[in-house]
């Protein structure tokens, strides 16, 4: 092996003297990247033709030698190549977890003269629709890297011959997800299919889409079609689950599914390369639309195609494809950023009494409903004002609204949200909330009258719609001739967010709500940027979120850590790492558990004293929680616990030592604001509006979906905590107190409500 590279490897299976026969040949061996680096992909170049291999396969003996255990990561690899006639050179390259390709081997080869000629590749023109957005996103994610080099990566990935794998008898089965594309939600890939063995029992199925995060699949579910078609196979062969997905660097991702038999053998059952389809969660964004950016991208791709021997194609076909790719880029890209500020509050204003109808998407004890509860209380303080609340769902927060003097009613808008057209949506909405023109509204039914009495449009001055999910309330206000303020707490584009929630025919109605609302309020510039193309009317505003600092200070003064830990059964000497928020895919608690697993050896080896506890508060009994519990059991983590959703969030923030936020999407998360005021050190993902709350000087910021870097940040935060270093936490508290205290921020929201009610420009 070359002496200049830190990699260790061996190609154990290859033709003698690198003399390839005609047809396909196998290459196999092992690679060790080092203790802190992992192989995520592998390819061989035969002249200018790339062939993708299968890295990360179990290699008994070598895995134990390098890792001190069986793995993962696994060190074995295989490739299947078909050298063409006249080929003279072979190069072996590997890709690490940072997305860097490294050449390990370069050698001269000879190929039998009867080998096939090099097959022609489709022209660049036929590939622009996929290559242009791929290069744009890659360049936006890595602006410091040369565009030409990124273009080479994108073209190489498109040209590469993939190597997939299906079960070999006595295994039988099918991988149904992913196929050529894979559905990804918040960094997790859906994996489904069936697998059976004719003679042995499958003890466990695992899936891995990077080098180290092996996820257990739920296997052994009934599959009637297997039994009816294959009478000699077990019918309990269905598997479902999720695999953690590494951040994509512009190319396909490799999924491997392993089957462990009851005799201890571990076999590769499936290998499938796919392009991720991001349904929810972080995705490399397109850069703001620019003709110059498009031209540079097209030129870079054309040049890279030339370097890889890929024909451009007929000029007419190329330019037509370029125009189509440019039109798609213009339609999907954000517009150049423009800061839209809040209405000025430096001039005194006299708030007018307002009769406000608040629509919230539910009445659960969650961040957005809690925010609108506090906003409603504040708006209702103006003498003569009144607040009424409607929601499609019942929930425990109803009592808090009613105790604050607000009437609360449940409205059924399910038929409107299931409508197959705009006309049917409007008709169903009118029936649900009586939103048609008051002068021409027909006589309502008894059920409709009960719902309409909650609203009374004649006594409504302003509608406040809380969250994008309440877009329907903006349409109701418009049809009733009333002004509306839409509060947007989401940070996902409309069509992606509602992909599984609404019929596609209603997507444009959600977008229309952004245009039709008198004001659209965001609490983070980053969230506003997601919807920038919908704000042509100048109705967007960015206002700070809010919280009651005085109430937090009073609580902290009145409640000691020791008493609260005794109340909740927490070891008084433990170091408590708290993940607070609804346990769900978007919050990314699977990465919190993975970080706990990565840190477990060093935490166990620490000197006797305070043990670490990883606590997730906000658990709901559902499939995701079941997968998390399985993840904890597989990792053997006794110091991880789940706590159901509770109204006692302050208890947990007061008794904790460290706050860890693992979310994939957040606008202005309440938990970070509260944690800062409680003086907790914060480790958080660097997504959407979070860096507008805390910077790298005030918290430890990490990318979403990266448990390795999350574990590293927690390690640093724990070291600072043990050393009594509170500098970041102190700075975070000062920043949040100055910007987000309700005495500072809520007057701005009151001014905006009056502005909207007066229909000011």
**How far is it, in rounded angstroms, from Cα 479 to Cα 473?**
10
- Of 668 and 331, the structure prediction assigns the larger pLDDT to 668
Complete DSSP assignment for 440-478: TPPPP-HHHHHHHTTT-GGG-SEEEEESGGGHHHHHHHH
Domain final position from 119, 148, 168: 119
In a domain, 613, yes or no: yes
- Per-chain mean pLDDT for the chain: 87
Q: What local confidence, expressed as pLDDT, does residue 83 receive? A: 95
Query: In this structure, are 492 and 559 located in the same domain?
Result: no
Residue 454: which pLDDT band, with cuts at 50, 70 and 90? low
**How far is it, in rounded angstroms, from Cα 260 to Cα 267?**
6
In a domain, 344, yes or no: no
Q: Which residues span the domain enclosing 583?
A: 549-740
Residue 354: which pLDDT band, with cuts at 50, 70 and 90? very high
Query: In this structure, are 309 and 368 located in the same domain?
Result: no
Query: For the residues 552-556, what does the mean pLDDT come to?
Result: 96
Query: In this structure, are 536 and 634 located in the same domain?
Result: no
Q: What local confidence, expressed as pLDDT, does residue 685 receive? A: 95
Residue 249: which pLDDT band, with cuts at 50, 70 and 90? low
Query: In this structure, are 69 and 132 located in the same domain?
Result: no
Express as a percent the part of the chain with pLDDT over 90.
58
Alpha-carbon distances, residue 355 vs 369, 448, 457, 541, 709 (angstroms): 19, 22, 10, 22, 49
Q: What local confidence, expressed as pLDDT, does residue 761 receive? A: 64
Query: For the residues 732-750, what does the mean pLDDT come to?
Result: 94
Query: In this structure, are 287 and 263 located in the same domain?
Result: yes
Residue 606 sits in a domain of what CATH number?
A: 3.40.50.2000
Complete DSSP assignment for 588-602: THHHHHHHHHHHHHH
Spell out the alpha helix ranges (H) of 19-79: 62-67
Query: Judging by beta carbons within 10 Å of its beta carbon (0-12, 13-18, 19+), is residue 554 exposed, middle or buried?
Result: exposed
Closest CA to 597 of 568, 561, 630, 551: 630
* pLDDT tens readout for residues 588-625: 999 999 999 999 988 887 665 578 999 999 998 888 89
Residue 211: which pLDDT band, with cuts at 50, 70 and 90? confident
Taking the chain, what is the end-to-end CA distance rounded to the nearest angstrom?
A: 71
Query: In this structure, are 450 and 517 located in the same domain?
Result: yes
Structure tokens that stand for 77 in this block: 């690899």
* pLDDT tens readout for residues 267-312: 999 999 988 877 776 666 788 888 999 999 999 999 999 888 888 8
**How far is it, in rounded angstroms, from Cα 82 to Cα 437?**
71
Domain count along the chain: 4
Q: What local confidence, expressed as pLDDT, does residue 228 receive? A: 61
Q: What local confidence, expressed as pLDDT, does residue 181 receive? A: 85
Residue 69: which pLDDT band, with cuts at 50, 70 and 90? confident
CB 520 within 8 A of CB 539: yes
Contacts of 365 (CB under 8 A, 6+ apart): 395, 396, 397, 645, 646, 647
In a domain, 602, yes or no: yes
In a domain, 201, yes or no: yes
Query: In this structure, are 359 and 255 located in the same domain?
Result: no
**How far is it, in rounded angstroms, from Cα 714 to Cα 235?**
45
Helix (H, G, I), strand (E, B) or coil at 558: helix
Maximum average pLDDT range among 360-374, 470-484, 488-502:
470-484
Query: For the residues 84-99, what does the mean pLDDT come to?
Result: 90
Can you give the C-alpha Rg of the chain in angstroms? 29
* pLDDT tens readout for residues 172-203: 999 999 988 888 888 788 899 999 998 899 99
The size of the chain, in residues, is 761
Q: Is the pLDDT of residue 453 over 70?
A: no
Q: Is the pLDDT of residue 760 over 90?
A: no
Residue 672: which pLDDT band, with cuts at 50, 70 and 90? very high
Q: What local confidence, expressed as pLDDT, does residue 309 receive? A: 81
In a domain, 41, yes or no: yes
């Amino acid at each position: 092996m070359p002496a200049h590279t830190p990699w260790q490897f061996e190609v154990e299976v290859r033709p003698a003297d690198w003399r390839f026969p005609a047809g396909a040949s196998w290459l196999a061996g092992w690679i060790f990247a080092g203790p802190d680096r992992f192989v995520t992909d592998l390819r061989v170049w035969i002249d200018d033709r790339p062939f993708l291999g299968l890295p990360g396969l179990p290699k008994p003996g070598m895995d134990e030698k390098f890792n001190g255990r069986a793995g993962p990561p696994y060190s074995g690899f295989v490739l299947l190549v078909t050298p063409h006639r006249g080929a003279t050179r072979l190069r072996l390259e590997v890709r690490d977890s940072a997305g860097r390709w490294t050449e390990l081997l370069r050698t001269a080869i000879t190929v039998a003269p009867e080998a096939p000629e090099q097959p022609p590749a489709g022209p660049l023109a036929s590939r622009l629709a996929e290559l242009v957005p791929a290069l744009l996103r890659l360049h936006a994610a890595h602006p410091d890297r040369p565009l030409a080099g990124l273009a080479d990566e994108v073209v190489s990935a498109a040209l590469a011959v993939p190597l997939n794998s299906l079960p070999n008898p006595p295994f039988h089965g099918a991988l149904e997800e992913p196929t050529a594309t894979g559905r990804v939600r918040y960094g997790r890939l859906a994996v489904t299919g069936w697998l059976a063995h004719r003679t042995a029992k499958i003890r466990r199925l695992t899936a891995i889409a990077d080098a180290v995060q092996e996820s257990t699949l739920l296997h052994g579910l009934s599959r009637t079609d297997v039994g009816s078609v294959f009478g000699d196979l077990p019918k309990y062969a269905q598997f479902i689950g999720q695999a953690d997905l590494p951040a994509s660097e512009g190319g396909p991702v490799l999924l491997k599914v392993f089957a462990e038999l009851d005799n201890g053998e571990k076999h590769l059952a499936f290998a499938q390369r796919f392009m991720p389809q991001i349904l929810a969660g972080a995705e490399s964004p397109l850069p703001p639309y620019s003709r110059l950016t498009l031209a540079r991208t097209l030129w870079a791709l054309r040049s890279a195609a030339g370097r890889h021997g890929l024909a451009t194609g007929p000029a007419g076909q190329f330019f037509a494809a370029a125009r189509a790719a440019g039109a798609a880029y213009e339609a999907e890209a954000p517009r150049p950023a423009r800061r839209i500020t809040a209405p000025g509050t430096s001039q005194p204003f006299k708030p007018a009494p307002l009769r406000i109808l608040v629509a919230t998407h539910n009445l659960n004890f969650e961040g957005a409903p809690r925010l609108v509860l506090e906003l409603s209380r504040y708006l209702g303080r103006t003498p003569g004002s009144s607040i009424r609340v409607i929601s499609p769902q019942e929930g425990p927060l109803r009592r808090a609204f009613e105790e604050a003097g607000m009437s609360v009613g449940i409205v059924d808008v399910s038929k409107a949200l299931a409508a197959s057209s705009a006309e049917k949506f409007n008709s169903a909405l009118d029936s649900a909330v009586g939103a048609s023109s008051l002068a021409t509204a027909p006589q309502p039914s008894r059920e409709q009258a009960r719902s309409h009495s909650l609203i009374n449009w004649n006594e409504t001055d302003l509608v406040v719609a809380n969250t994008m999910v309440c877009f329907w309330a903006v349409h109701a206000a418009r049809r009733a001739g009333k002004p509306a303020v839409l509060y947007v707490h989401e940070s996902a584009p409309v069509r992606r967010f509602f992909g599984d929630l609404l019929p596609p025919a209603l997507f444009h109605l959600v977008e229309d709500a952004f245009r039709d609302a008198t004001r659209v309020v965001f609490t983070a510039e980053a969230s506003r940027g997601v919807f920038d193309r919908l704000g042509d009317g100048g109705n967007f505003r960015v206002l700070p979120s809010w919280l009651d600092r005085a109430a937090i200070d009073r609580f902290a003064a009145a409640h000691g850590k020791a008493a609260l830990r005794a109340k909740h059964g927490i070891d008084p000497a433990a170091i408590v790492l708290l993940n607070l928020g609804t346990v769900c895919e978007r919050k990314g608690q699977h990465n919190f558990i993975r970080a706990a697993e990565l840190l477990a050896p060093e935490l166990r080896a620490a000197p006797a004293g305070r043990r670490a506890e990883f606590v997730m508060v906000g658990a709901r009994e559902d499939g995701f929680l079941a997968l998390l519990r399985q993840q904890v059991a597989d990792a053997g983590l006794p110091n991880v616990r789940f706590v159901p959703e509770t109204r006692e969030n302050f208890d947990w923030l007061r008794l904790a030592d460290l706050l860890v936020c693992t979310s994939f999407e957040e606008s202005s998360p309440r938990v970070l604001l509260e944690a800062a005021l409680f003086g907790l050190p914060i480790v958080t993902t660097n997504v959407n509006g979070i860096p507008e709350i805390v910077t790298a000087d005030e918290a430890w910021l990490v990318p979403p979906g990266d448990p390795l870097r999350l574990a590293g940040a927690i390690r640093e935060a724990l070291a600072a905590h043990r050393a009594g270093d509170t500098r970041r936490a102190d700075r975070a508290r000062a920043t949040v107190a100055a910007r987000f205290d309700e005495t500072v921020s809520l007057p701005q929201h009151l001014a905006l409500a009056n502005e909207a009610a007066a229909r000011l420009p």
